[in-house]
Structure 1
């Protein structure tokens, strides 16, 4: 006990430093603010991608997104790592494949679905992550969490039904994107601790770029596209007006990666995770302002059920691990709390 008291005094903690709790509270509040900004920015990238789908294929947009993201993150990572770039590994290729596929399906959904609808269906991801964590990672999941997952899946079906009637099989694309992203997050948990957040984002972006370029190459074999649907890779030269939105998609991805990393250094993932649902609000607003899209009542009801069940899963996890909720996560995965695809 005496050693612990001495350690706290030496670090400025304990009863001798009443300002420490206030400082910690300010750090958490700053982390929440940074996360809020990141979550509100994410749908801007999706809106730009939706605009670009009128001219380019989802594979092309995704490849450009990861390319520009990696180029913009490179100097940040070099500064953060003191000029030394850690070498890539097989884990980065696996992660890049999963998030690359997630982006292809997400952008494919944007070709057909309203922005808010696409985002709402994508947010089946936290529920699928719970399933994967229980089945593949053998993590403990309570009966109440399972019930929340089932209710969330019902909400997804409610959103899916009118969208399927209106847009056909394309309504499955954002669900597939959420599934691949859930797999990405599950694998990120497995390799946690081997990379800091920014290094992971950089090498994963490089790997995703290479994977999408490979898909484009396979899709261009022969006179007709060898791949169809979301994987269709018809090479279309971007017009002069498309380059700025393409750069914007990658730049927003890079900025939100940095913002989320800074947020995670100040507040635990359990505190920040619920903030990801701000994306639905931002996507709805952007869809209305830019594309004149207003979700119908059934879509809104289903989205509310998905959000409610996801929030329950997060808050229940937080009660079971209060230390995780209140601790900063300097080396946590950038994408753990939110939608960074």
Structure 2
């Protein structure tokens, strides 16, 4: 009996290893989305970059949902929730990409990683999830770490340094809504419809923003290398998202979730290589505290609820 279980154990081990490999590649590639976005936002408004990102997501995923036959597998209630998810992603991406115009990629991502902390708190409020004093303490410590990154950033760029927190809040609410529809919904269909609604909302914003002179909503015709930057945003976002989907299918979320913090490492490396940016000592301390508190929350959830899933950050956006 024990011998018969060995192949299954080996298969499970190989599947988890495969999921871990895919997740590492996904989170290491994910900051390239922000690198391309930062390059593009020098001449293109953030709403336009966001629209292109969603449109390319729809184009890449459409053949998959057609093949799976899940394109129209929606009720009106689900359609409303997907529209809400798309709107929340627009808020998240607009906030984050707008930040990149004046802020270092690594700093913005470090602040954005208060999202698991916000999600933990919102889950306790709206989903009645039991959160003990240890995790609440870790949330408080994590927010303190975020302040260490935000405070010098606010002195450098002003209130815009708070936009990654807005983006984190938007993504946290998005993940809460996703939990409401994910039980019986095809993940590819969810990605597709979120992209459709996200693109639609962005196009409406660009329509009304035309001629306003806004650096966020007034569309412009891209020139030169900007086309490649926009394409880079869409392609890297899609690749990272697809890798994340298959990673979470192959391995438990509780195993993969800590790997999301590798994104800060790769963001720092890419930011240094492309823009010559490196966080100072105070920001490094804040980043370390954010990572430590986030990892503790994940570890604590694994211990208290072994079947608790922690939604990925990178594939969501």
User: What band does the TM-score fall into relative to the shorter chain?
Assistant: over 0.9
CA shift at 1:302, angstroms? Answer: 0.3
SS at match of 2:101: helix
Q: Residue in 2 aligned with 1:5?
A: none
1:270 aligns with 2:254: yes
Q: Structure 1 residue 108: deviation in Å?
A: 0.5
Aligned mate of 1:55, from 16, 35, 43: 43
RCO higher in structure (CA 8 A, sep ≥6): 2
Work out the CA distance in 2 between the residues paired with 1:165 and 1:125. 23
Q: TM-score, normalised by structure 1?
A: 0.87
Aligned equivalent of 1:139: 129
Distance in 2 between residues matched to 1:288 and 1:320, nearest whole Å: 39
Matched, 1:279 2:263: yes
4+ residue segments displaced more than 3 Å: 82-85
Extract unaligned runs of 5+ from structure 2: none
Deviations along 1:240-261, one digit per CA (max 9) or x if unpaired, are 4222221221111111221111
Please list the CA deviations of residues 269-315 of structure 1 after superposition, one character each: whole Å capped at 9, or x if unmatched. 11111111011001000000000001101111001100100111111
User: Hey, what's the Cα distance between the residues in 1 that align with 2:28 and 2:44?
Assistant: 25
Q: Does 1:305 align with 2:289?
A: yes
Deviation of the 1:322 alpha carbon: 2.5
- Counterpart CA distance in 2 for 1:304 and 1:211 is 36
Structure 2 distance, partners of 1:133, 1:34, is: 27
Aligned-pair Cα RMSD in Å: 1.8
Give the counterpart of 1:37 among 14, 25, 38.
Answer: 25
- Higher Rg of the two aligned structures: 1
Match of 1:86 in 2: 73
1:96-111 → structure 2 map (5 Å cutoff):
96-111=86-101
**1:316 Cα deviation from its structure 2 partner:** 0.7
C-alpha distance in 2, partners of 1:173/1:200? 26
* Cα 1:143–1:37 shift into 2, 3 Å: same
Q: Distance in 2 between matches of 1:203 and 1:224?
A: 29
Structure 1 unaligned regions, length at least 5: 1-8, 326-334
State the alpha-carbon separation in 2 of the partners of residues 208 and 287 from structure 1: 27
Match of 1:169?
159
Partner of 2:236: 252
Q: Alpha-carbon deviation of 1:323?
A: 4.3
Q: CA deviation at 1:82?
A: 4.5
Asked whether the equivalents of residues 216 and 233 of structure 1 are also in contact (C-alpha less than 8 Å), the reply is yes
Are residues 1:206 and 2:190 paired? no
